[in-house]
Chain A
Amino acid sequence: MLTELLQGTDAGGFLLIQDSTGYCGRHLLKSFIGAALNREEVVHVLHFEVSEEELTDGLKGSHIQRLHFHNAYTDPLGWTDHPAFTVHQFTLEELAHRVKQTSHSKPVTLVIDSLSWVLRHQSPPAVCNTLQQLRKGGAVRAIIGLLHADMHQRGTVGSVCHLATSVITVAPGMKGDEAVAKLTKRSKSGKVMQDEEVFSIKEDLTVMVQSRPSHVGGRQNDAEEQETDPTANLTFNLRLSDTEREAKEKLALPFVFSREKKTALLHSGPGSGRILYEPDANDDYDQEDPDDDLDV
């Protein structure tokens, strides 16, 4: 599922990459930027945490001209007189204006590195509102954001994940350069798809997906019981061949009636359940003397 997500999000999608200190999600984010550039999209990157050089490292080719950076790294809080982009400028109007300046009527993907910075300095409801309106308003086609899950309260992370259409949670894997990704994708019809994959990122920022991770602990084995075939390994034959099965089906069981008799019995009219009984001499039941028939 990771490769499908890399190949493109549908319009109005919000993809969230959640990472922690164990494994940095920025490499995966750069792979997504590279994949978006390969698809001839215009990518706007709003970077708070790393510099422009570090982000372009690894992205080569002529696609670079479609990549636009909004530098919030040098002065995010506006301490100097002329900041390039401050965190308080993360509003709908400002972002839509900046994106429109260089769009040339091509679909725009907005990449935010990282949302944690914005959530630290603005209230979460305001940030959620801005993201939702960016998606719905049509200013950008898709949003990809990076969130450090261990920097915020659970409710905040949950609220942002609730907004997202796809969530990728990355964690360190078993071997050195491998990582485990838990993916959740919500489609427009309300269906939820989930997956867990092991992947690694190569030098040219392509993602190699390996096999599914093996579940440690045998939790899966407990759930599935091995069904042993009881008819195997016997000295006598318990199985049926096809002709034997046919003969078995053809056998007329003693109380199987024809269809007409069945319908007659099932839909019998009222009074068919009466029991007609004529008591004979032996059934003379006298209440007073129960021992009347004793021959003493």
Chain B
Amino acid sequence: MAAPMSSVGKPSAERSPFNTTSFQKKTRSKLISIPGTRPSVQNGQLLVSTGVTSLDYLLGGGLAVGTVLLIEEDRYDSYSRMILKYFLAEGVVCRHELFVAAAQDNPDDILQELPAPILDDVAIPKPVEQPRLSVEPQDSLDAMKIAWRYQNLPKVQSALASSSRFGHYYDVSKTMEPEIRQAAKCHRFYLPEQPTHSSPTHSMRLESYSALLKSLQEVIHREGFDVAAPMSKSRNILRIGLHSLGSALWGDDLCCHDKPRNSRALTTFLYGLRALLRSSLSVAVVTLPSHLIQDRALMGSITRLCDNAIALESFKGSERETNPLYKDYHGLLYVRQVPHLNCLASKLPDHKDLAFKLKRKQFTVERLHLPPDLSETVSRVSRGELAAAATAASAASACGSGSSGNKHLDF
């Protein structure tokens, strides 16, 4: 269309003399622009950051709106709780709404422990090529004495991060300011405070999950997160954090018995949750104490019902704590499932053996690789042991020598 029809009917006096053309681009895209989201480069889904940039990279750029992320907790629930707090803190910084449900701790306690965002600078110091001689700190040139020509070249990144500034960084040693936190709207669900109105014969497990699902549905409908709601007002995302679902405090005996009596309560809830999320602008993160669940088939069906699934294994208390292979890291991370939404195949992460470490300003997930082989004779024995440990830990190891590394080749 050369000229839009609206300008034909206008008298010529109304036309601005500086306007050379009154052509207006027709935007056909239905993508709603919500702060804190961006469309995925792979399939155009609207993505939301989890708060941990390494995890965003693993999940294909971020969490798609309308999906569930399942985190299988580590033994003492320290790192999975940390990721949940990152997720909620990211919601506060992006001005999304929050919904927190817990049975063990009060949601207010969880919200008070959110880490403080680092708002002004990037955490990773990336050296940038500066064409002009800017004022530089003197000690940066002294950092490399002999190889100073390599000073300004970027360092090799073994941390997984995507290049755009989609997520934010948080300082774990400080908690978020109350002013920032109170600016975000939070909905709470604390199971002991919910009224129990059921007959004694009705099993309590279904009661807690159905109350949670009802509360979620009510919040989504009331605050206008339905996709079918009128598009008149500005849209926002609801971030749902469910802490330690399936534990005994929710009334579920999934973790207590080898053959739970009503094993389908949690799976029914997850099915209903996913159906609710698909029809609304919300994202959910669910943590589950999977180390207590003895039935592996049930664990598999729970994993299938969630879109994304990762598992954390911390080294605290296991014999891996003293293993020199793992001394830089706090635990291992397994990606159990990556979703394929509206497509046939999904982007799997390139590396299967991943390890994480929690630093003060960053939670990094890195590829686990063997340390460099520095000396000839000493490490030949130890390299075989380390390689055997690595292959025992993961099916596809980086060096792939298997357990035959112990034998020396003597000619």
Contacts and interface: CB of A to CB of B under 8 A. Distances in A.
Interface of A: 123-126, 128-129, 132-133, 136, 153-156, 158-159, 162-163, 184, 186, 190-192, 194, 219-220, 222-223, 225, 253, 256, 259, 262-263, 265-267, 269-270
Contact of A222 (B141, B251, B378, B385): B385
B256 interface: yes
B137 to A, nearest CB: 12
Given A132-B249, A156-B257, A162-B247, 10 more contacts: A125-B205, A125-B249, A155-B255, A155-B256, A158-B292, A159-B256, A162-B77, A163-B104, A223-B323, A253-B146
Contacts of A190: 76, 78, 81-82
B382 interface: yes
Interface residues of B, number: 47
Contacts of B218: none
B227 interface: no
Contacts of A132: 104, 249
B120 interface: no
Nearest to B253: A125
B28 interface: no
A158 to B, nearest CB: 4
Given A158-B291, A266-B149, A125 B256 contact: yes
Contacts, number: 101
Interface in B243-264: 247-253, 255-258
B151 A123 contact: no
B126 interface: no
A263 B286 CA distance: 52
Contacts of A223: 322-324
Given A128-B249, A192-B78, A270-B131, A259 B141 contact: yes
A153 B145 CA distance: 61
Contacts of A124: 248, 253, 256-257
B292 A162 contact: yes
Contacts of B322: 220, 223
Nearest to B151: A266
B316 interface: yes
B130 interface: yes
B256 A156 contact: yes
Contacts of A159: 247-248, 255-256, 292
B196 to A, nearest CB: 11
Contact of A125 (B138, B252, B316): B252
A132 B247 CA distance: 12
